[in-house]
Every structure is written in C-alpha cells, then in structure tokens.
Amino acid sequence: MNEKFPKNLSFSMITFAYNEENWLEDRIHLWMSQFGKFVDDFEIVLVNDGSEDRTGEIADRLAREYPQLKVIHHEKNMGTGYAARTGRNNVSKYIVFWNDVDSHFNLDDLGKVIPLLQDPEIDIVVAFKHDLIKTKSMFSWMKSRINYYLIKMLFFSLFFDYSPILDYQFVQFLPRRFFVDGIDLKSYSSFIPAECLIKARRIGLEIRQIQLKYHSKPAGYGTALNAKTIMTSIKNIFEFWLRWTIGGEKNRTIEHWHSAFGGEFPWRK
C-alpha cells in the first residue's frame, strides 16, 4: 500500500459516458481502488451523455454504492465538450482533471503527479504522451499531431509567443478555482484543455510538464471518433482564434481574472 498523501490535497475527476454499459462498472470499481491508494478526499463526477443503453441505470446504482461518485445525466448526447462543461459546474475539490471511461490516464500514475502538485511554485501540471505512436492507430496519431501543430501555430508561433507545452489534450491537473472561477470558458469541444492552457499562460500561471504513458482503448472498445467530432473541434479552434486575435478575448481573460481574484493566485496562499 502506498503512503497516503496529505488530506488537504483533494481531487475531482470528470469523466463522460455514452453507451458504456459493458465497461462502466469495472472502471468505476478500479478508479475507486486506485484513488484510495493516494488520497482520502476525492470525487468522480460522471456525466452520462445521453446514453441509450443501461449506462445511466448502472451509474445511478454505483452512486448509491460510492458516495464519492456524483452522476449527472444529459437527456441527449451532446459530446465530450459539453459534458466537460457540465462536469465543470459540479466539481468541488482542490484539483480538477478529466479522464475518459477507457482511462487513457492510468490513476496509478497519480503517485508521480502529486509531488509536483504539492510544489507551491507550480500551478498546473500537464502530462504529455510517452510512445504515442506505439499505442494508437496511425489515423489517431496523425489526428493528434495535426491538432497539436494547428493549435501551436495559431496561438503561439504566429505571434512569437514561444510555447514549450508538448501536449494540449492528454491530461491536465488544474486548480479548481482557476478552472471554474478564474476563466470564462468559451469552448464546447475537445479544444477545452487547450483553451485552459492558452489562458493559463496569458494569466501567468506556472506550468510544469511530466511524461506519462498514454493508455489505448481496450480491445473491442468502441470509439466516438468520427468526422463530425473532428470537424466540430476544428470549427471550435478557429472560432476561438478569431475571439483571441481580433475579438478581444485575450484582454478579457486578464479582466476576468482580476475581477475574480484581483489578479492574485488564491490557491498559493
């Protein structure tokens, strides 16, 4: 058994489920066990995104078994972006991150992340993928790289704002007060993590990176990746780019931060 980390370090993990009746129960049991190795204070915020199978029923039963599980239901499928926004409105712990039901981030790696989160000079921890090309299909790898370089080109390279960030969309550990109160989130797709990092850099938060293994979907696991999902993400990227470059979002980010916290970093106190 690993030694527990201080109880004042708590976690909210947002996850999304759409027709996951074959995987959900085993995954929740595993997550509860993994979280318990490291911290006592945690919650899993599960958004049932309009599932048409028994996912909602299973989730509600598990929530009665585990008080750490909070379940919110969407009446119709809205996609991971809107599910993340719903989860954002229901988190309560100190650190927030999100993880797919297929668990691309293995919670056993929390033991590597927590020491960084305990450093008072670090605000956000960002993981980048290890051996990505070996763990994903060639199509998924190409999609991931195109997405990465598109974001890097539009939001950093064109304006000579060098970004050392190596991955915008694997897993991020964010102070809840930054994620919920400190920024006015505009995105509605898988671009949400990138928006968080773009705004974090604009505000001046200290970001530390760590390389972790990306865990592929289990054999036989379905995927929501399709042309519509990809096009929604690309549309969202360019909409935000227009807001950021000519729509005043860059300045509004600072204004919102000062309105919320007077320009301070409340979790550092």
pLDDT at 139: 55
> Looking at the predicted structure, is the pLDDT value of residue 160 above 90?
no
> Looking at the predicted structure, is the pLDDT value of residue 2 above 70?
no
Residue 3 lies in a domain: no
Distance in angstroms (rounded) separating the CA atoms of residues 23 and 210: 28
Residue 57 lies in a domain: yes
**Hey, what are 174's tokens?**
């964010």
Residue 267 lies in a domain: no
Query: Domain limits at 242?
Result: 11-262
Residue 101 lies in a domain: yes
**Residue 68, exposed/middle/buried by CB under 10 A (0-12, 13-18, 19+)?**
buried
Distance of CA 78 to the CA centre of its chain: 17
Distance in angstroms (rounded) separating the CA atoms of residues 266 and 122: 13
CATH number of the structural domain spanning residue 69 = 3.90.550.10
> Looking at the predicted structure, is the pLDDT value of residue 116 above 60?
yes
pLDDT at 1: 44
Entry pTM:
0.90
HSE-CB at 184 with a 13 A cutoff on CA atoms is: 16
Q: How would residue 5 be classed by pLDDT, with cut points 50, 70 and 90?
A: low
Distance of CA 148 to the CA centre of its chain: 16
Residue 2 lies in a domain: no
Q: Give me the mean pLDDT over the 233-255 stretch.
A: 94
Q: How many domains are there within the chain?
A: 1
pLDDT at 133: 47
Q: How distant, in Å, are the alpha carbons of 32, 96, 213, 228, 241 from that of 195?
A: 29, 15, 23, 20, 10
Residue 218 lies in a domain: yes
DSSP strand E in 22-170: where? 42-49, 69-74, 95-98, 124-130
> Looking at the predicted structure, is the pLDDT value of residue 16 above 50?
yes
Residue 1 lies in a domain: no
Helix axis angle for 227-245 and 138-155, nearest 10°, is: 10
Residue 6 lies in a domain: no
Condensed to tens digits (0 to 9), the pLDDT of residues 55-114 reads 999 999 999 999 999 999 999 999 989 999 999 999 999 999 999 998 889 999 999 999
